[in-house]
Each structure stands twice: as structure tokens, then as C-alpha cells.
Chains A and B, each alone.
Chain A
């Protein structure tokens, strides 16, 4: 069992590594790119690289390996984008327009929201997570928890107000 645990070439171990680090790595990449497609691509490429080098990577150092590879891939893409942009700029006036509703969530803000979410009253948090993260409909949540849909709506409503008010405060 132990020997197997250290062998990254074992698909089960590889899966485990993926499940352990994919989320942190994804988050790390997202706040660098601010773009989901690029994040997904690089996340994929990073794990593909680990897979092809599975016999060369030490399991104990797999975390730093993953983040280093991801960071290199990120820098490569940025370098490439810069070159392309410089090139384009010499021909056209590059006009970057963003839709007014486009919201950029910064890492700090995201972490703040996470903290606030953890401070929500238990029931509100539970329902908020079920709805926003697990994508359960109000009706499904009501059935799961044995409460009325109205109560679920009330908790969701109050959760949002609570979070908004907490955001207004200095933390």
C-alpha cells in the first residue's frame, strides 16, 4: 500500500494527487489569468506534464512540482500574448472594451467572501452552499432538509443581506 502510494504512475495515486491539488492549482491559475478557459487549459497541461513525467517526480515534492509547472506555463502564455499584442498594436488601435456588467473578482475579495461565508449562521450557510455551489434548486433543498421552499428563500435572502453587510465592514 505504502509503496503504491508513492508511485505517481499508479492511476489511483495520480487520481488522488489530482483531487488533492487540482482545486488549489485552479484557484492559483485563475487569479493569475482571470480567465476560465486559460485556467482550465493550463490546469490540464500541468497534470498531463506530471503524468508523462510520473516516474521522474518524487511524490513528496509533487505539490511544488505542480505549482512550478503551472507557473511556467502561465508565464509562457503571458509572454506569447504580449508579443502578439505588441505586434497588433503596430497595425490597429487596439480597443479594449469590456461589457459594463463584467465583474472582475480579485483574489483578496474572493478570500474575504469566503471568510464571510464561513461566518454565516449555520443554516444559511448550508443552504447557500447547497444552492450556489452544489447547484441545488430551492425546491430540492427544501425536500432535502424537510423545510418549506419559502423558508429556503428566506435563508437565501438573509444570507445575501448578511454577506453584503459584512462586506461593508472593515475586516
Chain B
């Protein structure tokens, strides 16, 4: 009698290593067995290719070509200044650890900031955004609050949560972009996996997937970029309501629109450059057939 195997989901057991290759061989045909082996191997390869925690070793980093420092003898005066500075630093550190532990980072119009968090995770904050977090308990709970837009590169570790007024994003270690405006909540996943939760969304995003919620409408889409376009030299949009494009233009160029004469909900697909206002305006409004003229720091839009 051939051995009977009771779990209906023997393939899952085999992948988990609970039953051996030989055991599987007895359960399926030879050709199927070969296919399963190849699928397993191919998925191992996927993991091998996906592994993003590769980095350049420290010894090579230290050969940073532009930062070759030369050693100088330390003078007595410098030594004292050094000691005083260290004491001050220690005191500051003590304060930071015991008293005020909330950190607030803001960006102004047209400004982006790169922030390193306590665990080595990175955040790049887009224009007109606010990021805050508390240093206490960071080891147990990595949690930041965001208003505006930011790109996150999270180091692997415990859960990392981005809270916004409209919903939250939870991840393990990955890269993603969050845009949290008063009436728009948008998350784009670039690597790894993120879990997005709001009153309308409860979704796990895989690389290249994105979701947004605006005016109670939830929309899923896919993209191919490896980083958000605002990190490069232009912003691009797909079927996005004009009001969000206007807001991005305002944040980028420190301008103000008077949009009373047009329909702000018309959908825009296209992009605008970050460093040429004239071209940016032409790119957005010419495609939509909207006229614009400048009057006292305001740009008046009309049909």
C-alpha cells in the first residue's frame, strides 16, 4: 500500500518544508513534480533578486572621494573648547532623552527636506508638509504623523506606522510615498509591502500599486516608477482632479491661483517641470484649454 498523506494542501506543506521532495514525488506525477520544483526555484530567485538590503560595505564608503580629511594636531585651546562642547552636547542629549522628546519637521514652499529617523529610516519631505514624531518609545513603536506628502524608506524592524488625519499606513520595511492633504489621502508603494487603512480603504499594497481616496472615492492604480516623481524634476499625474495639481503648483512655485472661473474637478493627465514656471503653466493649462493671466501675484484662470 502506498503511504497516504492526509493534508489536502500538501503543496503548502511541501513549500514550508513539512514534507520532503521525495514525499511530494509520490503524491504527484513526474512532470508535475518537475514543474513544482521549478516554480519553487523561480520564486527563490525572485526573493534573491528582490532582496533590497544590499549595501556598499563600510570600507568602501570610507573612501568617499570628496571627503578626505587630513589630521591636524589639536591645540590646547581647541582641546578646552572641545571638552566644553562635549559637555554641552551631553547635557543636550540628556535633555533630549528625558524632557522634550517630540520632533517636528516642516518644509516651506518649494522646499524638500531629507530626514533621518532614529532607526536609520529615511524620510524625504515634499514641499509644504509637516512631519512629527515622538522619540520616547521609538524602540517599541515607530510612529510618525504626517500632513502633506513624504517618501519613506523604512529600515526593517518592528512595525512602522504613518498616521494621517484620514488614515494610516503600516509597514515592516519598505519604500513608499504618502500624500495626506485635508481632502486627499494617497499612498504609493515602491518596494516591499504596505498596509493602508482608513475609513474607506483596507488594502495591502505590493510594489507598483497605489491607492487614493478623495471626496469619498477610492481609486486603485498601478505605476512603474521606482521613486515618486516629485523627487526628480517634474510632477506627473494620471486622471487627477485639477485642484490637486493646482495645489502642487502653488506649493512648488509659491504662487496663488484664482480658479473661480473654471471647473476645478476637470481631470488632468500629464506633467509639469519643477524649475520653470512658464513651462509648467503652459504644460498644465494649454492641454486643458484653460486661459491664464498673472495679476498681482495671482494667476487668474478662465475658460
Hey, what's the 0/1 contact readout for B166-188 against A, CB within 8 Å counting as 1?
A: 00000010010000000000000
* Nearest CB in chain A: distance from B204 CB, A: 6
Chain A residue with Cβ nearest B10: A157
Does B193 have its Cβ within 8 Å of any Cβ on chain A? yes
Within 8 A of A (CB), among B168-223: 172, 175, 191-193, 195, 204, 206
Indicate if the CB atoms of B64 and A23 lie closer than 8 Å.
no
Q: Which residues does chain B contribute within 8 Å of A114, judged by CB atoms?
A: 46
Interface size class of B (residues with CB under 8 A): 35 or more
* Nearest CB in chain B: distance from A66 CB, A: 13
Interface size class of A (residues with CB under 8 A): 35 or more
Within 8 A of A (CB), among B35-77: 35-39, 41-50, 52, 54-57, 60-61, 63-66
Indicate if the CB atoms of B43 and A113 lie closer than 8 Å.
yes
What CA separation (Å) do A47 and B61 show in the bound complex? 11
Chain A residue with Cβ nearest B52: A19
What CA separation (Å) do A130 and B15 show in the bound complex? 13
Q: Which residues does chain B contribute within 8 Å of A134, judged by CB atoms?
A: 172, 192-193
Indicate if the CB atoms of B42 and A109 lie closer than 8 Å.
yes
What CA separation (Å) do A48 and B57 show in the bound complex? 9
Does B1 have its Cβ within 8 Å of any Cβ on chain A? no
B42: contacting residue among A15, A113, A156, CB under 8 A: A113
| New contact pairs (6) apart from A30-B45, A51-B63, A113-B43, CB-CB < 8 Å | A5-B232, A19-B175, A36-B48, A132-B43, A132-B47, A156-B11
Residues of A within 8 A of B (CB): 1-2, 5, 9, 11-12, 14-16, 18-20, 22-23, 26-27, 30, 36, 43-44, 47-48, 51-52, 54-55, 101, 103, 105, 109-110, 113-114, 117, 125-126, 128-135, 137-138, 144-145, 150, 152-154, 156-157, 160-161, 163-164, 167-168
